[in-house]
Amino acid sequence: MFLELFFQYLVAGLTYGTIYAIVGIGFNIIYNTTGIINFAQGEFVMLGGMTAVSLYAFLPLPLAILGAVIITMAVGGLIEMVFIRWLVKPSVLRMIIITIGISILVREAGLVLWGEGVRSLPYFTGNEISALSFGGVRVSPQVLWSLGVCAIVVVLLNLFFKFTMLGREMRACAANRDAATLCGIPTRNMITLSFVLSAGIGALAGCVVSPITQTQYAIGSGLAIKGFTVAILGGLGNSMAAVAAGFILGILESFSIWVMPTAYKDAISISLLLAMLFLRPSGLFGNREAFKLKDF
């Protein structure tokens, strides 16, 4: 019984871990090309989930998800072009405040569009009571979906950033924008691209976890804090590490319910965030040497 309970908490932790991981990756992508933390990242997850629910009313599920991802990518690109592109050498602080503003704007727009109702997509396979049993531990198939999607996203992203010229250009733009310009790289387009990419990933996450966690207009800001914690915990800019960090946070939260009142769950991520920022700002898996070479 004890072991079963243990694994049940573990699975719950992994489930939340995937979404934290994907939000963390979204932070990393935009951080990697622009050097800014986009606090509207959680809103992309919300937009993805909500749009998919709306589209699902008249489209089959896979098309609804695809549509939601594309629409959110367009919104991400548009946000960059309207609010960020025209800024000439903005300071980091100014960018952060702008993204917080965008996040409030998107959230309120979500409230107007969809109201306060809590919605969710149907389970991709089976329904809320179907479960696969692994030696007494019951796992919803949706958990496997979210784990799988997270894994695919991470692998593809890593291949993209490490081995494609476009990925390398985006990293160059992150490392030193003037120098990237002097190499002939159109840095402004790279920044737009990073918003599009990160919006798409967020939206996909929003769709995959929607059946489990449900979607509402206000879920974004909470996810942004979790995702930020994860990004810091893993080491800013490192997508692979964000995944590991996402699972660590998810599992910690899940097990905290075992020993503490549920209300303290969210305090875990905040304390973890503060502890990391004080003790090891380069992250658990961050390369200290490389961290020192970054500007921010």
Partner 1 sequence: MLRVHNLSAGYGSLHVLRRLSLHVKPGEIVTIIGANGAGKSTLLRTITGLLRASSGEVLFKGEDIQRIPPEQVVFRGCSLVPEGRQVFAAMPVRENLLLGAYVQHKRGKRDEVAHDLDRVFGLFPVLRQREHQLAGTLSGGEQQMLAIGRALMARPTLIMLDEPSMGLAPLIVKDIFHIIAKIRDEGCTVLLVEQNARSALKIANRGYVLETGRIILEGDAGDLLANREIQRAYLGKDLDGENK
Phi and psi at residue 237, in whole multiples of 5°? 95, -5
Span near partner 1 by CB under 8 A; candidates 125-133, 184-192, 204-212, 249-257: 184-192
Of the candidates 81, 109, 175, 284, which one interacts with partner 1 according to CB under 8 A?
Answer: 175
Of the candidates 97, 179, 260, 274, which one interacts with partner 1 according to CB under 8 A?
Answer: 179
Q: Length of the chain in residues, anyone?
A: 296
The count of chain residues that interact with partner 1, using the rule CB under 8 A, is: 22
Alpha helices in 80-186 (DSSP H): 92-114, 141-163, 165-175, 177-182
**Nearer to partner 1 among residue 114 and residue 160 (C-beta):** 160
Span near partner 1 by CB under 8 A; candidates 106-114, 176-184, 197-205, 222-230: 176-184
Of the candidates 85, 119, 138, 168, which one interacts with partner 1 according to CB under 8 A?
Answer: 168
The answer to whether 172 contacts partner 1 (rule: CB under 8 A) is yes
**Nearer to partner 1 among residue 47 and residue 231 (C-beta):** 231
Of 227, 221, 229, nearest in space to 205 by CA: 227
Cα–Cα distance, 15 to 202 (Å, whole number): 15
**Nearer to partner 1 among residue 185 and residue 225 (C-beta):** 185
Q: How far apart are the first and last CA of the chain?
A: 48
Least distance in angstroms from the C-beta of 276 to partner 1? 20
Span near partner 1 by CB under 8 A; candidates 1-9, 20-28, 173-181, 248-256: 173-181
Residue 238 makes CB contacts below 8 A (sequence gap 6+) with 28, 283, 285, 286
Cα–Cα distance, 127 to 19 (Å, whole number): 20
Helix (H) or strand (E) holding 86: none
Contact 29, 238 (CB under 8 A): no
Of 207, 164, 278, 183, nearest in space to 52 by CA: 207
Residue identified by tokens 């960059």 is: 80
Least distance in angstroms from the C-beta of 80 to partner 1? 17
Contact 240, 287 (CB under 8 A): no
Span near partner 1 by CB under 8 A; candidates 37-45, 52-60, 79-87, 167-175: 167-175
Cα–Cα distance, 88 to 95 (Å, whole number): 11
The answer to whether 112 contacts partner 1 (rule: CB under 8 A) is no
Span near partner 1 by CB under 8 A; candidates 65-73, 125-133, 209-217, 287-295: 287-295
Span near partner 1 by CB under 8 A; candidates 59-67, 171-179, 205-213, 276-284: 171-179
The interface mask with partner 1, positions 187-206, x = CB under 8 A, is: x-------------------
Contact 226, 249 (CB under 8 A): yes
Q: Please give the residues from 34 up to 93 whose contact with partner 1 meets the rule CB under 8 A.
A: none
Of the candidates 119, 138, 171, 280, which one interacts with partner 1 according to CB under 8 A?
Answer: 171
The answer to whether 158 contacts partner 1 (rule: CB under 8 A) is no
Q: What is the DSSP string of 182-228?
A: HTT--HHHHHHHHHHHHHHHHHHHHHHHHHHH-B-TTHHHHHHHHHH
Residue ranges that bind partner 1, judged by CB under 8 A: 165, 168-169, 171-172, 175-176, 178-187, 289-290, 292-294
